[in-house]
Amino acid sequence: MNNALHLIEACLRNDRTAQKQLYLQFKDKLFVLCLRYANCHDDAEDILQEGFIKIFRDLHQYKGAGSLEGWMRKVVLNVALQYVTKQRKLKFESEDEFMDNNNWEDTQTEQENDLFNEHLAKGLIQLMQNMPVGFRTVLNLYVLEGYTHQQIADQLEISVGTSKSQLNRAKKHLREALHKSLTN
């Protein structure tokens, strides 16, 4: 924690070496967050860059309550959400509920599992990037960020019902895309 405080203080003094160190320490984790909201790799890089600009600009607002990484994630998440709304007006469709749980049996070795999981994660990110923006945004906020439907509705200025239907449609869309990719 002491090192983190020194790093923050150096960044606040516009120490370029400290800023680079902070960037290198967190860029990969934050880039994964950006990929979940972007349409492509280049857009994710733009979100990350804009996020770090805001992080360095607003670093004086971080008061040490909670983790620095958590604070940085929140800043980048807000940039990603602004990106989503700037790209186009979110067009939300209504209704159509769907719930389905798949249980996967673990039949592979740990190394095979790691390779499979890495490949699966890359495939899921690609499938999510091809998903309509409204679906992807609600799915990310609910499943990956842990937002409630009320928080999503407030953040995106939609109704709670729309948030729920978008989540269900996103799950259905993702399931169909997974099925299609696995049968090809």
pLDDT digits (tens, 9 = 90+) for 43-68: 899 999 999 999 999 999 988 878 89
Backbone region of residue 14 per phi and psi (left: phi > 0; alpha: psi in -120 to 50; beta: other values): left
141, 147 contact by CB (below 8 A): yes
pLDDT digits (tens, 9 = 90+) for 137-171: 898 889 888 889 999 988 888 899 999 999 999 88
* pTM of this structure: 0.57
Q: How many domains does the chain have?
A: 2
pLDDT digits (tens, 9 = 90+) for 112-130: 555 555 656 666 777 777 8
Q: For residue 14, how many other CB atoms are within 10 A of its CB?
A: 9
- The domain that holds 118 is classified in CATH as 1.10.10.10
The answer, yes or no, to whether residue 93 has pLDDT greater than 60, is: no
Q: Let me know whether 72 and 136 are in one domain.
A: no
Q: Let me know whether 67 and 123 are in one domain.
A: no
Q: How far is CA 15 from the centre of its chain?
A: 29
Domain that holds residue 14: 2-87
In a domain, 93, yes or no: no
In a domain, 21, yes or no: yes
160, 153 contact by CB (below 8 A): yes
| Residue 122: per-residue pLDDT | 67
